[in-house]
A and B are shown apart, each in its own frame.
Chain A
Amino acid sequence: MTPIHVIFDGPVGWYCGGMSDGGRITVNGSCGWSVGENLMSGSIEVHGNGGSSAGATLRGGRVFVAGTTGARSGISMKGGTLVVGGSVGYMSGFMMQRGTMIVCGDAADGIGDSMYEGTVYVGGSVHSLGADCVEADMTDDDRALLATELDPHGIASTGVDWKKLVAGKKLWNFSKHEYDAWRGAL
């Protein structure tokens, strides 16, 4: 059975490809809020900008937005891969649980706030880290993953000062001795 490939020539509204499982969607234009929300598998490519909550609660598959996306991109991701060619808005990656978010541009304030697990890569500047989001060392495996994800879109993964962001895990279980970490989270 050949997976379906839906092509939109022009912009689309909210929830494009939301809750899909398999197939491929191409948007030759921009999209509204929550593109690929709760995607289970398959892929969505947006050759324009995305709204807020792009890839919200993504569980599998791939969402690619060539331009920029709004606030809360990749919120509560539970798997899958979200690639944003441009920048992401405020509080992106909030409460991320699993999966991979790649931001080629800048990340606005509060990136990765209260992440449980998962990995965020940022190629541009990070305005501020969210609660319990910490920077980790880039490895060869990380660079290989970035090349695999970005090469098909013609985006160079080398020559970029990638920042790898992960959960500090201080919010996994409450400790009164780490109140400073919890001050903003409780």
Chain B
Amino acid sequence: MEGGAVSDGIPRGRDGHVLQPLWVWSPETIEDIQSKAELGRYTNRGLGMTKRPPHFEDLTFVPCTLSRVPLEGYRETCATSIEIGGRHGAKPIKLSTPITIAGMSYGALSRNAKQALGMAATRAGISTTTGDGGMLDLEREASDQLVYQVLPSRYGFNPHHLRMANAAEIVVGQGAKPGTGGVLLGAKVSPIIAEARQLPPGVDQRSPVRHPDFVGPDDMQIKIEELREATDGQIPIYVKIGACRVPDDVKLACKAGADVIVIDGMEGGTGASPDSLMNHTGIPTMAATVEAVAALREMKLEGVVNLIVSGGIRNGVDAAKALALGADAVSIGTAAMIALNCNRPIYVEDYEKLGTVPGACHHCHTGLCPVGITTQDEDLIARLPADEAADRVEGFLNSMTQELQMFARACGKNAVHDLEPEDLRAMTIEASAITGIPLVGTNFAFRPESFAQAVADAMAAATTNGHKAPQGTH
């Protein structure tokens, strides 16, 4: 071998010996430093985090066997619907299946993408959500149930649109980057998008994170009252929070008067955000779900204030696990985009122009989305006919519902909301410690209270067996 080379995926030196990359200075780290050196700032990306967090993947279902009786998998009815947001007497959002489509802005997404999501949500009997760019007429027309976001930027915020909405969602933060606003780089701030947001065309729009007209939870309570007054108390008020100090935040949102709380875990997506924030802020959705449910239970508001969890929900299996842990519904954003066509291997040459390939594209921030989803370029938008795209999202939503029902039936439940923690086991000590669910092969959850109970049990057993129980120090 004359020079260094890669053979069988292993980098080798001139004499063929294996070159060991350094963990600290991995190829990814080297690339990161050099791209920042070129850019002169942090790097922005779309989609979400690159790390693997503790995830619903680390849980497994333990369906019925001799000890429990299953329902027939492909035949027996299994209810999926739920109404949410009725805490203060507003007209609730009726979900035929416990899934919602998350807020994604018109601006980050093309009009065809927004319209297709609305059409799919309507056909599937669920709700969809506006985003940081106001309400698009096409989206309103396509969506039977539309949640109107009240964001810190208030780009395009219009009280008439608020009154046309079926629910309002105060966005306190987002799982991908809690504590920081979003970014819409100049390439996507087309004249139409700029006018919708009252911005100069082509600016790098950096959204604020603090709301302009309130600061803390007590203030938000007054804001919620204002929103209720403006809508005659007819629509539920949601509060969406990036998952951080979940128990405190859930309790504060409950006290402020939220009808629905949306907790968005760190796996949550974004159109464009600093890469470092996505990987190093927030807590995973699985952990956030457990903490949110416990907080609602402590407040005796479980089932009164509804809980939607989001962030990295990929299929009906993740949704079933979230419901088993106590969520009322899940919200999907990135998964819905992927169903639209995101990362599909078509127009491959345009992925290559972006320096990427289908399956690894996260170049939403460039505005040059090869499949017409995250772009404002007319030629690219034309690649996403709304009706066909809606069919795909509807198909995916239906598959999620089927998966939810499949797991519920296997666990002997005739309603997906009857799934419970007892239907689960943890595959890792970490997941067991986070969720309080016993580790597979044991009857033991790796939590302090379980250890305390184990010690108490051992002492009781020793006493029963006639042995002297261990004594404390005197």
Contacts and interface: CB of A to CB of B under 8 A. Distances in A.
Contact of B212 (A37, A172, A185): A37
Q: DSSP majority for the A interface?
A: loop
A19 interface: yes
A15 B40 contact: no
A59 B159 CA distance: 11
A76 B208 contact: yes
14 contacts: A14-B222, A34-B212, A38-B157, A38-B159, A57-B157, A57-B213, A76-B153, A76-B154, A76-B212, A116-B199, A172-B204, A174-B41, A176-B39, A176-B41
Interface string A43-65: 00000000001001101000000
B402 to A, nearest CB: 42
A21 B214 contact: no
Q: DSSP majority for the B interface?
A: loop
A160 B158 CA distance: 37
B57 interface: no
Interface in A152-186: 171-174, 176-177, 179, 182, 185-186
Contact of A173 (B42, B186, B214, B230): B186
A179 B202 CA distance: 20
Interface residues of B, number: 29
A33 interface: yes
Contact of B203 (A173, A177, A179, A185): A173
Given A59-B198, A186-B41, A53 B213 contact: yes
A72 interface: yes
B200 interface: yes
Interface in B197-217: 197-200, 202-204, 206, 208, 212-214
B230 to A, nearest CB: 5
B208 A95 contact: yes
Contacts of B42: 186
Return the 8 tightest CB-CB contacts between A and B, nearest first. Answer: A176-B40, A19-B159, A34-B213, A56-B212, A78-B198, A57-B154, A56-B213, A75-B212
Nearest to A21: B159
A34 B200 contact: no
B160 interface: yes
Nearest to A74: B212
B200 A117 contact: yes
A95 B206 CA distance: 10
A79 interface: yes
Nearest to A177: B40
A18 interface: yes
Interface string A108-148: 00000000110000000000000000000000000000000
Nearest to B204: A173
A93 to B, nearest CB: 11
Interface string B334-350: 00000000000000000
A47 to B, nearest CB: 22
Nearest to A15: B226
A173 B40 contact: no
Nearest to B160: A21
A19 B158 CA distance: 8
A14 B212 contact: no
B47 interface: no
Nearest to A75: B212
A172 B194 CA distance: 13
Among B160, B198, B213, the most chain A Cβ lie within 10 Å of the Cβ of: B213
A48 B388 CA distance: 58
A151 B130 CA distance: 42
A98 interface: yes
Nearest to A79: B198
B298 interface: no
Contacts of A171: 204
A68 interface: no
Interface in A93-111: 94-95, 97-98
B219 interface: yes
Contacts of A172: 186, 200, 202-204
